[in-house]
Structure 1
Amino acid sequence: MTALGSILSKGVPSQQMAQLHGRGFSLLPLGKGADSKSPLLGFSSAQRIPLARVLAPMHRIGSSCYGVRLGGLAVIDCDADDPALVADMEARFGASPVHVKTPRGRHLYYRADGGTFPNLRGEGLPVDIKRGPSSYVMGPGSVRPDGGEYVPAKGALGVDALPEIRLASAGPTASRPSGRIETGSRNYALTVAAVQMVETVDDADELFGNLQFIRDDECEDPATVPDGELRKIADWAWSKRLEGKVYRGRDSEFRLHRTALDALKGLPNTSDAIALFVMLQDLHGHAPARAFPLDHAAMAAAGHTDLTRRRFLSARRSLQDAGLLTVAACHVAGKQPRTYRLNRLRATAANVTMLHGSQSPEKKGGGV
């Protein structure tokens, strides 16, 4: 038996580690501290430790934790496994083919060859971007002493090719030419939409129909997103509603995209237009395919607006001019009123700017 074979232990994720090491990744043995996140060996920024030296101290103390060093890599470390948060990160930095679920959230892996990285904590987000040879994250297959696991959730590190992380300062190749939901981000975006809509639809079939509309209208290459995938998302979201794991009715939130508000700024009736838009998002934003009448008298009687008829009509026209509201069906005398539908403005990567220009400091030995 070889020296390496003699130190393999059932509790050590040696198979994953051997595969990653064989594909050029630099690994660290972890196990110090209550959470086992600290290295068992010292290391320099340029040193790649032989696999046997990584495994040996882990075997000696029974550690099931190892680190992946981030030379040439970047990991978006989300402290919450929130589909909306992950979708926002992938919309901003590009879709990652490799996700690892952590005890608190999720790791998204990318290649990184430099550039200016934003301070996401400074933007109020529960997210860090870790990169550089002096940084590391706990590797897939690791299990902490408290039982917390690092489980592959999408793709496989060392198997799926990692894309370059997309930064605001990147060149033209980093843009989203179509302005649509990118391949690789579609499942998360559709899951987020399902969670946002599930509280107000009548059943899973209605939710499924709404997801079909979003797929066909907003996704890149919609033909490659089968109805079966949408049905799984709709059924999952509906089950969460039935289990009481989604807020219901008025005890909930809805989101406003900043590009929509930007489109209304500077108008003579900006405040009126924003007020009407917010109310329409509250009433209809959960069902993007649904058409609705927009009558001043009915809205006022229901307590949805206190605008005069003139100001209401002016605000409605402003929403149409801004591309936030469109006519779904024309008025037919004696048969149907004119109906409208809310539009989503699709931002491109060129519209994403950092809120903080300074680069966040690299985390020295700060694995998670």
Structure 2
Amino acid sequence: MTALRVSSLPDEIRNEVARLKGAGFPLLPLGGAHGKAPLLKAWAGPGLTLARILAPMHRTGSQAYGVRLDGLAVIDCDSDDSALVAQMEARFGQSPVHIKTPRGRHLYYRAAGAVPNLRGEGLPVDIKTGARSYVVGPQSLRPDGGFYEPVKGLLGKDALPALRIAASPMCAQILTGHRHVELVKEAMRMVELVDSVKELQANLVGIRDDWCVDPATMPDSELHDIAGWAWKCRLENRIYRGRDSAFAVQRLALDSLRSLSNGADAIALLVLLEDQHGHTPGKRFPLDFDAMRAAGLLNLSKPRLRAARRALEGAGLLRLVGKHRAGSKPQTFVLSRPQPAVGGAMNVQPMPNVRRDVLPGKTGGKG
């Protein structure tokens, strides 16, 4: 069955291609099953005319085009993670033009020489540059519905700064006494980008040998333990990703609240407190219901929140540890853990409370 072809392009994409071509950007028509393949074989030569860019798009029904990176550099992030984008801009300079891609983000710059291999550093990022490189342009729409949305600035209008070529943050040697902690951090950055624990350990060996002071005193067994611990975190879904991460709530705690008349309110408050404070065992915190409601954390009324608090205290899940002092000190609380009843099910082991700041033990050396 022959795919339907359209005789014209939507005004938005046609006008954007014409505008960027008029601003001097070298472009090329894209298409194919994924909307990212050049529609012309000889696209890498002299700049194409507007007619030669638009004609194949009209002919095939494509709504995607590419921006050739002759004199340009684009940081291509695999995910639209604000922390990752901030890390890139802190290292390479602020970009005035951001394009949100179907799975990540493009940051535009002027080219400024050789670029580092960020994949080799364990980052889900490529830096694309050069006359034979291109990225899908803003306002493009792929056949699968993936859209390239301008979310900051306007390409062709906002002046692009040169990509600031900064040294890798790991290029400075890691001093003895800091090696173990830094390699744990590197392991956690890389663990989701490798295919096996052996590959992760091999990467750590390279970091130790290239960047650590006195690498001979940091044994392979220590790297083996770090890689194994990081891999276990991956298998148990304990990789911290900011808000895109999980935390544990004990089933015994839920069991103790379900039968209460306000059990749903109590469970909602418990989950919120575990989210905000449960990662630090023994942490003391106040309960300011006005602030919680103002921040949108819970929309329950204050009487219902006070009743939920009393329910948690009655179930032994919340404990008062600091009394109120008028004008200077609010009441403070700490989360508690329910104890299993004697004779309870023994075939299911409760999930341990894992702290992210607990690192695998050292096995030797001065790391």
Shorter-normalised TM-score: what interval?
Answer: 0.3 to 0.5
TM-score, scaled to structure 2? 0.45
Name the structure, 1 or 2, with higher relative contact order (CA <8 Å, separation 6+). Answer: 1
Q: For the pair shown, which has the larger CA radius of gyration, 1 or 2? A: 2
TM-score, scaled to structure 1? 0.45
